[in-house]
Amino acid sequence: MANQVKEAYEIAKERYAKIGVDTDAALKRLAGVAISMHCWQGDDVGGFENPDGELTGGIQSTGNYPGKASNPTELRQDFEKAHSLIPGTHRIALHAIYGETDGKGVPRDQVKPEHFKNWVDWAKKLGLGIDMNPTYFSHPLSADGMTLSHPNKDVRDFWIRHGIACREIGAYMGKELNNPCVNNHWVPDGLKDTPVDRYGPRLRLKEAYDEIFKPNIDPKNNLDAVECKLFGIGAESYTSGSHEFYMGYAVANKKLLCLDAGHFHPTETISDKISSIMLFVDEILLHVSRPVRWDSDHVVTLTDDLCMIAAELVRNEGFLGRTHIGLDFFDGSINRIAAWVIGTRNMIKALLIAMLEPTKALVEAEKKFDLTTRLACLEDLKAFPWGAVWDYYCMQNDVPVGNDWLPIVRDYESKVLATR
């Protein structure tokens, strides 16, 4: 098998060389990209604050596949198995509800770095970075569909304290791991029916974020991101944190802007937004998912949309280094470890395909308005042997080639997941 993979790679390498692409250089570049894998795929966004609690605020995981992680040890174990089947060294993204409080009920506005010490110690051993997300949903004080833009000051203040606490946790993670933690703020705030006052909630949201971001934290440890959304369950008609709101806030306050692939109109793609946004912000965060008719967070597949996102990051000089790529899907209808593996490997495949493109030659043709050559070359590239390069990359990283990872997951399922 190894000889076949190497032989196929050498043939592919020669073919790509004829169009000016260095496959070895592409693989070296690919190895430097870390994907932030989201912990909530492993337990259907349950967390450990209240495992029996219901999800609210535009969040919904469907399915009841056996073997869901029910405690931090199981979740870390499952993540390690998934990570071992993916080429490269990546990251894990946590939500505030994944802290460990020794069974004590800790209010969200009182979560502390010590509640994430086990995660940090574990990440150190594996050489992983950690990203953080305040959890502004699935809580009695989010039941009205409003948190930071709530008209009740006491409710707003509670969530402001939560946001501040999560920034302190992020700073702790970044400092301990010597790797900046990307701390992403998304709130489900919105209304089911058409509002009369659109301005008031957005003014309150802005003022709340101003309070959250007031404490000065070294960006070497913690990077703040804000995430927009078009609509959600129970917020079909109005969302306080619209794209325009967060775009303006990120530019005015020098924050990372988070773009989620499912948070726009069904006909919009975030790939087209990246080049415009990069003109005005220093860095961005991506939440890559696969919306089906709505923000349904399906497992990432190798679609045209995914490939266009990767192409935008790779084609433009410096974009990849200014982008933090995170995944955001949760499917409880299939093996959850397989979901991680499939989605993450597809994100990496899309980046590889983009790195194997003769971008400079294509841009030159485009500048000359030689659109015939551009189209002909782009179509021909679709049949190029990028799969052979991918297989070689997997072999280089000592992870299964092709679908050889699936029997490993099935074995883990029978020996570990089936016992839960």
Give catalytic residue positions.
Answer: 186, 227, 229, 260, 263, 287, 295, 297, 328
Of 256, 114, 279, which is closest to residue 182 (Cα–Cα)?
Answer: 256
User: How far is CA 27 from each of CA 79, 174, 232, 319, 397, rounded to the nearest angstrom?
Assistant: 24, 27, 39, 18, 11
Residue 168 DSSP SS3: helix
Residue 286 DSSP SS3: strand
Within 8 A by CB and 6+ apart from 303, the residues are: 290
**Are the C-beta atoms of 340 and 324 separated by less than 8 Å?**
no
What six digits make up the tokens of 356?
A: 């194997």
Distance CA 65, CA 43 (A): 10
DSSP 87-100: SS--EEEEEGGG--
Q: Is 396 exposed, middle or buried (0-12, 13-18, 19+ CB in 10 A)?
A: middle
Cβ atoms within 10 Å of 363's Cβ, excluding its own: 12
Distance CA 132, CA 185 (A): 9
What six digits make up the tokens of 78?
A: 């499952």
Of 52, 60, 130, which is closest to residue 95 (Cα–Cα)?
Answer: 130
Of 325, 405, 379, 329, which is closest to residue 87 (Cα–Cα)?
Answer: 405
- Residue found by looking up tokens 């390069």 in the block: 389
Distance CA 220, CA 16 (A): 39
Distance CA 144, CA 178 (A): 39
Distance CA 324, CA 76 (A): 22
Cα 197 versus chain centre, distance: 33
Helix (H) or strand (E) holding 38: strand 36-38
What six digits make up the tokens of 239?
A: 């969302």
